Amino acid sequence: MATSNDLFIKQRSVIEVLAAEGCSAATIHARMKTVYGEMFISDYAVRKWVRIFKGEDPRETILRDRKRSGKPLSASVTAHREKVDCMIRANRRVKQKEIANAEGILKERVHHIVTAVLGYRKVSARWVPRQLTVEMKAQRKDMCTQLLERYSAEGEVFLQRILTGDESLRSRM
């Protein structure tokens, strides 16, 4: 069974064909009324589509409705950026849901602001800034190579003297 949207698309197609044959909007509407019965497009809609298909309307010729962007974004990034950043700096273990409730914005928007705009990520249940650049990663690789060479030379005694950490260690200092 066809949905009402499918039926309207079919009716627009019929309007396009009949308009191309040179039929007037009133004639098209009368013919469609006999074919479709109760489920037909209004006279106004037929006239609108005839204008569009004949090129009298500046809009492009389409049969389907355009996709909409969805629900409008309630949170502008610039308006909430500083507040979200302050909340994270005050409590590194704050949850996105808590930020969303405090600011009155969607959790999805909070996630976008925290990760894409502010550049934070979760490490050990804490929000920490992304700080590793390409150069820093290269330095880490070089350091690991040096450590491997020292381990080969010194053995297990060397491993007992190593202190490890990640970005969360640096943000707490």
Residue 88 sits at the vertex; the CA angle it makes with 83 and 93, to the nearest 5 degrees, is 145
For residue 94, the model assigns a pLDDT of: 93
> Tokens standing for 77?
């990034």
List b or e across 10-47, with b for residues whose CB sees 16 or more CB atoms inside 10 angstroms.
ebbebbbebbeeebebeebbeebeeeeeeebbeeebbb
Where are the chain's structural domains? 4-53, 77-129, 134-165
For residue 153, the model assigns a pLDDT of: 93
Confidence of residue 4 (pLDDT cuts 50, 70, 90): low
Instruction: Decide which of 9 and 5 is more confident.
Output: 9
| Per-residue model confidence as pLDDT tens digits over 60-111 | 556 555 666 665 555 567 778 889 999 999 998 999 999 999 988 888 889 9
Among residues 74, 111, 75, 78, the alpha carbon closest in space to that of 94 is found at 111
Helices then strands (H, E): number in the chain? 9, 2
Q: pTM of the prediction? A: 0.39
Q: How far is 51 from 46, CA to CA, in rounded Å?
A: 9
Alpha carbon 136 to its chain centroid, in Å, reads 30
